[in-house]
Amino acid sequence: MSDVDIVAESIRSMKVRGARDIAVAAALALKKIVDEGGKIPELEPAGEKLKAARPSAIALPNAVNYVMYLADGNKSLSDEEFKEKTMKDIDGFLDQMAKSVKKIAEIGAEIIREGETLLTHCQSDTVFEIFSKAWDDGKKIKVVCTEARPRHQGYLTARKCSEHGIPTTLVIDSAVHWAIRELDVDKIFVGADTVCANGDVVNKVGTSQIALCADEADIDFFVAADSLKFSAESMMGRMVNIEERDTSEVTEIPNVTIRNPGFDVTEAKYIDAIITEEGIMPPQGAYPLLKEKYGWELKG
Ligand code: RUB
């Protein structure tokens, strides 16, 4: 197995997971190819392999395409110069991603008030950065985490928040409506795998049900996502390829069909705001952001 095969397999099997970490792992795998003397002909097939590893997180193809764009810009350089410049460019991209998450944390922490109870779903590094920043700023928040069946990524969030000192409660996924009422949840923060041009958001399955509960309870529902998660290709959530994972992750019952979607679509109308490194915006801000950042416009 080549290094790229190993990284693609780690992404597929979810050893590496969460949209940001997947994008970073893909960029580092391509950087390694450059470090070993690879150029465009080696990078292209590797990039395609990485992109195919998980279909619902747009940050993965966006990161691969961006690295390819950087490499393409250096293709007329000598072999040694190509290597040096492209590795530097990839480092610059990774550095930018790290800065984006810090900026999102600052903006997100700002809208959290002293003593609030915040609910999150699954495990998002971006959301954890917001919570830990609010806590480090001295706000005595409490966090409620879901389990995120079947893979229980919520346990990671619960452990991280608790280890950071934040009073943390874990509930089963189906207890969200109960938790909002009984645990006095003030705000909900989730991450994103893809933000579509119309402001729909693809995130861990169950997110859309939580958004409905937030709507019913009249509390704010925030999505935290850097602009790498915005998709020019996906005008609406229903156009995103929703990954269906192996049913063995769920259970087996004779003669019963098991379905195991990994993600779902939260419609823009249930989202109060999306927090990006560019600022906090209503979901309708997705299209202008795409247009401004990527020079992309709806035709016709
Ligand atoms: C993880 C998930 C996260 C987003 C955002 O799903 O849905 O909310 O990827 O995470 P999975 P981040 O565990 O199936 O990869 O903010 O870390 O990019």
154-201 confidence digits (pLDDT tens): 999 999 999 999 999 999 999 999 999 999 999 999 999 999 999 999
In the 8-state DSSP scheme, what is residue 60? H
Mutate to test the pocket of ligand 1, among 58, 62, 121, 123 (most ligand atoms within 8 A of CB): 123
pLDDT in tens, 34-43: 999 999 999 9
Whether 299 has a pLDDT exceeding 70, the answer reads no
Give the pLDDT confidence score for residue 207 in this predicted structure.
98
Sheet strand arrangement including 194-195? 194-195, 201-204, 263-266
Q: How far apart are CA 39 and CA 43, in angstroms?
A: 6
Per-residue model confidence (pLDDT) at position 291: 87
Q: Answer yes or no: is the C-beta of 153 below 6 A from any ligand 1 atom.
A: yes
Ligand 1 within 6 A of CB of 17: yes
Above 60 in pLDDT, residue 300? no
Distance (Å, whole) CA 223 – CA 17: 18
pLDDT of residue 297: 67
What is the average per-residue pLDDT within 237-241? 81
**Residues in CB range of 245: below 8 A, 6 or more apart:** 260, 261, 262
pLDDT tens, position by position, 276-287: 999 999 999 999
Looking from the CA of residue 59, the nearest atom of ligand 1 is: 18
User: Mean pLDDT of all residues in the chain?
Assistant: 95
Asked if residue 202 has pLDDT above 90, the reply is: yes
Question: Catalytic site residues?
Answer: 122, 193
Please give the Cα distance from 49 to 71 (Å, whole number).
Answer: 17
| Helix (H), strand (E) at residue 22 | helix 19-35
Taking the complete model, does pTM exceed 0.85, yes or no? yes
**pLDDT at position 240, please?**
87
pLDDT tens per residue across span 97-120 = 999 999 999 999 999 999 999 999
Ligand 1, residue 121: give the atom nearest the CA. 8
- The reply to whether ligand 1 has any atom less than 6 angstroms from the CB of 199 is no
How much is the pLDDT for 119? 99
Query: How far, in Å, are 11, 204, 260, 286 from residue 24 at the CA level?
Result: 11, 19, 26, 23
- Is residue 229's pLDDT more than 80? yes
Q: Which of 122, 173, 205, 222 to mutate to test the pocket of ligand 1 (most atoms within 8 A of CB)?
A: 122
